[in-house]
Each structure stands twice: as C-alpha cells, then as structure tokens.
Amino acid sequence: MYRLQTVLCITGVSLLLACSPAPNVQVPVRAVKVLQVSESILSTQAEFAGEVRARVEARVGFRVPGKLTARYVELGQRVKAGQLLAEMDAQDYRLSVDSARASLNAAQTNRDLAAADFKRYKELRDKEFISGAELERRESSLKAAQSQFEQAQAQLSAQRNQLTYSKLFADKAGVVTGLEAEVGQVLSAGMPVLRLAHDGAREVAFAVPEDRLSLVKPGQVLKVKLWGGQQTLSAKVQEVAASADPVTRTFMVKATLDDMKVPLGSTATVLISGEKSTAKNISLPTSAVRQEGGKTSVWVVDPASMTVRSQAIEVSGMQDNSVLVSSGLQPGQQVVTAGVHVLSEGQKVSYFKPAGSQP
C-alpha cells in the first residue's frame, strides 16, 4: 500500500510539471539599417561597354600576287609613312621589266629607221623623183613605228610598277594591330598581310540593343569613361548601323573621341542620358526588397513602437543597383535596407549605429 501511494504521488507531480506553462522566450531586438523614403524625378541613363579603335584601320596587302619572303614589322609596332613593311619574291617581275625594256629598244630602233626613211623619201619627193603616194606610205610607217614605241614605253612603265608593288610600304603613319600572313606564304593580289591603324582620330565602338536604339542619334555628344582611369571624355556619334547584327541582334554605333591619345584597344564605358521621367518615383536599394508569398514587399519601421511590419509594394523597374517603386510606400516612411530576411512581423528593432559613432 505504501508503494502504491508513492507511485501515485510521483505520477501526480509529473502531470503537474507537464501542464505548467513554458517559460517566455525573449525575442532579441535587431539592429537594422533604415532609409527614409523620398520621391524624386529620375532620368534614365544607359551604360554600354565599348572598345577604343582607330578611326581608320586599313588591311594592307600587295597589289600583285607572289610569295612573301620578308616581313619587317611585328604586332604593336609603330611605323612611319613610307616605311617598308614587307617584301615578296620579285624575280619574275624583274624578268618582265627586262623583257619590256628589250621590246622598247626594238621599237625605238624601228621608229628611228622609219624616221630616216621618211626623211629620205621626203627629199626625193621634193625633187619629184617619187610620187606623193609613196611618201604617204612612208609617213604611215613612221606613225605606226612611233605608236609601237609609245606602247613599249607604257609596257615598260607598267612592268616597273609591278616590280615596285612587290614591296609593301606604309601609306600613313600608325600602329600594326594585326598580322594576317606569314613568310613563305603565297599570296594573291589584294590579300591582306597586316592591319594598320592610322594615327589620328580615335573612336569608341559599342553595340546597342533595339529597345535602346532611340537613345542614339548621329551628331549626339556622349560621355565615355575609360576602364583604366577616372577621366571622362566626350565622343560624337559618327555612325549608327542601318541593320542589326545577324547573330547578336544589336546595332553597332561608332563615336569619335575628342582625345587622340587614347590607347588602342582600351575598354570604355559609354554613358547615354535619356529623357527625364515626368512621374515621381521612389528608389530603394535591392537589399531592401524581398519576395514573400509571390509578392514583393519591404519592412517598414514604426518609430513610435520601434517595431517592423511587412508592406507590399509595386516595382516599376530597375536602375543601376536600385529598385523603382511605383506604389505601396509614402514619403517619410522608414524602410529597412539590410538584414530583411531575419526579421519577423512585429519584431522589436533598433537603429544600427556604426562602431565608434556617438550614442
């Protein structure tokens, strides 16, 4: 009987302990960063990645076919106007010059002989030893010999030009930006040997999608920032592609820079300002926005109770790293901008104070 009473007593104590209320768990007060909401009229500014190029970049090649025997420049080398760039085997062209020179000598001999005959027959005609028809035949022979002589002269000049074309010279001063043929390669006439960027104007080339093409017009002045520096340059739009690239479906735009000393191949950021919007917008950092139940919302701080509540918003677009809010917020409200995923409805918060700041 004593044991039964002991068991019942222990059981009763256990039941009392199980039914007692759990101790209250203290929710920590979160320190949050806040931003006071304000309206502003925003202007659209588009950014595009571009590359600095020479305004004129020529693919230089020989005007005659042949075998490339020497190339005197390398990639990135600066050249002067008239400098020898490359040379091909010119033996065949030298033989052609020798042949044309021999033909010229023969034509000259025939012309001199025809001229002497005409002079002699003219004297005989003056003495009436021959008829006028005979003199006319000699005159015709002289004219034909003269024409053959002039033709041989032209052929010799053409062959000399062909020999000259076996050497490739720089038309303008510039920088070698590409090599497209190697020594020993047999080239056809006009085949590029190298690319030469002429000294002078520089341009930035960038691709614009179809929905932003209305922002760019010929003659428009743009701002350009180089990736390697903080300097902002001006560029004037010179060319807008008439059709889209078949692969990227973008339009190529070229704008001439006002600084001719910008290094070729530099990466640039082109800034294009659009028209200002007539509607007022609220801009929030992306860190303040969260997705909840398929809706976009933010945490709004109640300064009186220092608690947060969830507020649904409507997003109208993006600009840089900011979200444009069209509805859901009022100017003057305080929105949490950091740590939004660790808060709960009605949670107590405090304003975040950086270390070392005054209380």
| Residue type for position 276 | K
Map out the domains of the chain with their CATH numbers.
Answer: 30-42+279-351 (2.40.420.20), 46-55+199-276 (2.40.30.170), 62-86+167-197 (2.40.50.100), 91-164 (1.10.287)
Residue 170 banded pLDDT, cuts 50, 70, 90: very high
Residue 44: the pLDDT is: 58
Who contacts 43 (Cβ-Cβ below 8 Å, separation ≥6)?
Answer: 273, 274, 275, 276, 277
Residue 4: the pLDDT is: 45
Residue 289: the pLDDT is: 87
Residue 96 has pLDDT above 90, yes or no: yes
* pLDDT, tens digit (0-9, with 9 covering 90-100), for 313-337: 888 777 667 778 878 888 888 899 8
Residue 82: the pLDDT is: 94
Residue 8: the pLDDT is: 44
Residue 326: the pLDDT is: 79
* pLDDT, tens digit (0-9, with 9 covering 90-100), for 98-150: 999 999 999 999 999 999 988 888 888 888 888 888 888 888 999 999 999 99
Please state the rounded mean pLDDT for residues 270-279: 65
Residue 74: the pLDDT is: 94
In angstroms, rounded to a whole number, what is the distance separating the alpha carbons of residues 256 and 54? 9
Please state the rounded mean pLDDT for residues 206-232: 86
* pLDDT, tens digit (0-9, with 9 covering 90-100), for 9-52: 445 545 444 454 545 556 678 888 888 888 765 555 678 899 99
Residue 23: the pLDDT is: 52
Q: Rounded to an integer, what is the distance from CA 106 to the centroid of its chain?
A: 59
* pLDDT, tens digit (0-9, with 9 covering 90-100), for 171-184: 999 999 999 999 99
- Tell me the three state secondary structure of residue 276: strand
Of 25 and 343, the structure prediction assigns the larger pLDDT to: 343
Residue 278: the pLDDT is: 46
How many CB atoms within 10 Å of residue 307?
A: 16
Residue 88: the pLDDT is: 95
Residue 319: the pLDDT is: 67
Percentage of residues in the chain having pLDDT higher than 70: 86
Q: Are 275 and 313 in contact (CB under 8 A)?
A: no
Who contacts 147 (Cβ-Cβ below 8 Å, separation ≥6)?
Answer: none
In angstroms, rounded to a whole number, what is the distance separating the alpha carbons of residues 306 and 349? 6
Q: What is the DSSP string of 90-125?
A: -HHHHHHHHHHHHHHHHHHHHHHHHHHHHHHHHHHH
Residue 192 banded pLDDT, cuts 50, 70, 90: very high
